[in-house]
Amino acid sequence: MTGHRLGIGALANTKNEVFWLDDQSIPEMRAPLVHSTSADCVVVGGGFTGLWSALLIKERRPNWRVVLLEGFRIAWGASGRNGGFCDASVTHGLSNGLAHFQDEIRILEELGEKNLSAIEELVSGEQIDCDLSGRGTLDVATEQWQLDDLAEIAKIAPEYGYEVSLLDSSEVRKRVDSPTYKGGLYIGNRCAMVNPARLAWGLAEVAQRRGVEIFEGTLVAGLEDCGSEVEVRTTAPATVRTPRVVLGTNAFPPLLKGIQPFIVPVYDYALVTEPLHSDRLAAIGWFGREGLSDAGNLFHYYRMTADNRILFGGYDAVYHYGNGIKPEYGNNVRTFAKLSSHFFTTFPQLDGVEFTHAWGGVIDTSSRFAMHFGQRFRKKVHYAVGFTGLGVGATRFAADVLADRVIGQEGPASSLRFARTKPVPFPPEPFRKLVVEATKQSLIAADRNQGRRNLWLRLLDRAGVGFDS
């Protein structure tokens, strides 16, 4: 998609700040850990993986002392800065699941649906105020080849419980009006929209009420195997002795050597507009408030917020040499301008609308686009990483497996091949950067070339490897 205008003017008054975290209802920061202590289980990371793990472990072992250590703030990482698409898929979509786990896809889809329902039940039971709504999404085609791909998905998805309708250009434009839409696929039952930061804050509150002890501003510096226990060392420098550790540290510098080969930290970016007045809203329709994405290899995702703004993100996926993660990488003016230009190409009728927020966040991209699990120190430490761009819902599924592993039991999810295998690793630098860039350029070329995949992408497909935002 090329921009019909630069879109830079719309960014003149934009804050480089995460819209979801710029919220009056942000909770007060909890105290850091200052005194050394012991616990039955330590969870590292206050994103969705860590929060759900703490909750599910406490639910299964109410008498355990469960301590959660977060280096900065709850929801400070990807969990507070994402698009808020809470999807039932735990395999980064049905097509990716079919490509990698054909033998288990039916059960993975069933468990994914149950996982999303469990999230909805907890949110409603605990009255978490996080605007969890709807279940409808719309994949839109801006090129004919994308429409052909959507038609293929429409044929197979109902077999896995998806309620789908394939829409032509005029049908899709009745739902959401963009001159770029050539058609679309409506899926009515697989993905809810949520305010992710409020969900994370709510989960932390529920976990605390149920007895989990949460410390913020507590960065874990290292783990040491001390026989029957692990010493969790923080920079404070307080320590926690514990027989069990769960790591939910996503793309951030891993605490175990074995994690880095399997994930690449990739920055993804989003913009949010000012609230749209009724005349602007009328110009685009979007009465169903579906979560939208386009069907290119490098795709945009977009949605409405509770106060009628549009969040527009995705497309660019930026990797920095040597697994670079720095706060300044969240401010990428070139990508913001590109996204702005794509936004006005999609919705020219919104000319004049301004963006209030623009930010980036880091994603733990794995070569199979889906989570994997690992353990160290003779099963005293367990972790889940690799959610890539679809972890809002899938992290709860991962936590279910992690809770089983910590307790030493097998459940329907933890016994699957999906939960027992690892993806193809990425090479070390300098090849890592070369592989990521070659793949990204090939995907851009495929999008310009009616979706046709070049030799490099075909080789990766055959090896079960890919790269996406």
Ligand X SMILES: Cc1cc2nc3c(=O)[nH]c(=O)nc-3n(C[C@H](O)[C@H](O)[C@H](O)COP(=O)(O)OP(=O)(O)OC[C@H]3O[C@@H](n4cnc5c(N)ncnc54)[C@H](O)[C@@H]3O)c2cc1C
Query: Interface with ligand X includes 263 (CB under 6 A)?
Result: no
Residue identified by tokens 């969705």 is 48
Q: Which is nearer to ligand X, 109 or 457 (CB)?
A: 109
The residue length of the chain stands at 469
Q: Which is nearer to ligand X, 182 or 202 (CB)?
A: 202
Tell me the closest approach of the beta carbon of residue 85 to ligand X, in angstroms.
3
Question: Of the candidates 115, 180, 341, 395, which one interacts with ligand X according to CB under 6 A?
Answer: 395
Tell me the closest approach of the beta carbon of residue 172 to ligand X, in angstroms.
21
Query: Which span sits near ligand X by CB under 6 A: 84-92, 127-135, 143-151, 345-353?
Result: 84-92
Tell me the closest approach of the beta carbon of residue 407 to ligand X, in angstroms.
20
Question: Of the candidates 20, 30, 57, 82, which one interacts with ligand X according to CB under 6 A?
Answer: 82
Q: Is the peptide bond before 430 cis (omega within 30 degrees of 0)?
A: yes
Query: Interface with ligand X includes 46 (CB under 6 A)?
Result: yes
Tell me the closest approach of the beta carbon of residue 169 to ligand X, in angstroms.
26
Structure tokens at 468: 């996406």
Tell me the closest approach of the beta carbon of residue 92 to ligand X, in angstroms.
9
Question: Of the candidates 33, 270, 318, 353, which one interacts with ligand X according to CB under 6 A?
Answer: 270
Q: Which is nearer to ligand X, 76 or 373 (CB)?
A: 76
Q: What is the number of the residue whose Cβ is closest to ligand X?
A: 391
Q: Which is nearer to ligand X, 33 or 457 (CB)?
A: 33
- Give the interface size with ligand X as a residue count (CB under 6 A): 42
Query: Which span sits near ligand X by CB under 6 A: 35-43, 83-91, 145-153, 202-210?
Result: 83-91
Tell me the closest approach of the beta carbon of residue 334 to ligand X, in angstroms.
16
What is the contact mask toward ligand X in residues 353 to 392, using x (rule: CB under 6 A)?
A: --------xxx-----------------------x-xxxx
Residue among 93, 112, 267 nearest 185 (CA):
93
Query: Interface with ligand X includes 313 (CB under 6 A)?
Result: yes
Question: Of the candidates 33, 41, 42, 49, which one interacts with ligand X according to CB under 6 A?
Answer: 49
What does the alpha-carbon distance between residue 237 and residue 240 come to, in Å, rounded to a whole number?
10
Question: Which residues on adjacent β-strands are paired with residue 298?
Answer: none
Query: Which span sits near ligand X by CB under 6 A: 45-53, 337-345, 417-425, 435-443?
Result: 45-53
Query: Interface with ligand X includes 85 (CB under 6 A)?
Result: yes
Taking CB under 6 A as the criterion, which residues in 228-257 touch ligand X? 248-250, 252, 255
Tell me the closest approach of the beta carbon of residue 329 to ligand X, in angstroms.
11
Tell me the closest approach of the beta carbon of residue 284 to ligand X, in angstroms.
20
Q: Which is nearer to ligand X, 259 or 435 (CB)?
A: 259
Question: Which residues on adjacent β-strands are paired with residue 312?
Answer: 271, 302
Answer yes or no: are the C-beta atoms of 56 and 399 closer than 8 Å: yes
Q: Which is nearer to ligand X, 147 or 317 (CB)?
A: 317
Instruction: Output the CA torsion 313→136→192→118 (10° steps).
Output: -150
Q: Which is nearer to ligand X, 259 or 416 (CB)?
A: 259
Taking CB under 6 A as the criterion, which residues in 426-455 touch ligand X? none
- Work out the number of other CB atoms within 10 angstroms of the CB of residue 323: 21
Answer yes or no: are the C-beta atoms of 181 and 140 closer than 8 Å: yes
Tell me the closest approach of the beta carbon of residue 219 to ligand X, in angstroms.
5
What does the alpha-carbon distance between residue 49 and residue 219 come to, in Å, rounded to a whole number?
16
Query: Interface with ligand X includes 340 (CB under 6 A)?
Result: no
What does the alpha-carbon distance between residue 414 and residue 385 come to, in Å, rounded to a whole number?
15
Taking CB under 6 A as the criterion, which residues in 130-189 touch ligand X? none
Query: Interface with ligand X includes 79 (CB under 6 A)?
Result: yes
Q: Which is nearer to ligand X, 100 or 303 (CB)?
A: 303
What does the alpha-carbon distance between residue 344 and residue 462 come to, in Å, rounded to a whole number?
37
Residue among 283, 258, 272 nearest 307 (CA):
272
Query: Which span sits near ligand X by CB under 6 A: 47-55, 135-143, 159-167, 445-453?
Result: 47-55
Question: Of the candidates 48, 162, 373, 397, which one interacts with ligand X according to CB under 6 A?
Answer: 48
Interacting residues with ligand X (CB under 6 A): 44-50, 69-72, 76-79, 81-85, 87, 219-220, 248-250, 252, 255, 268, 270, 301, 313, 361-363, 387, 389-393, 395
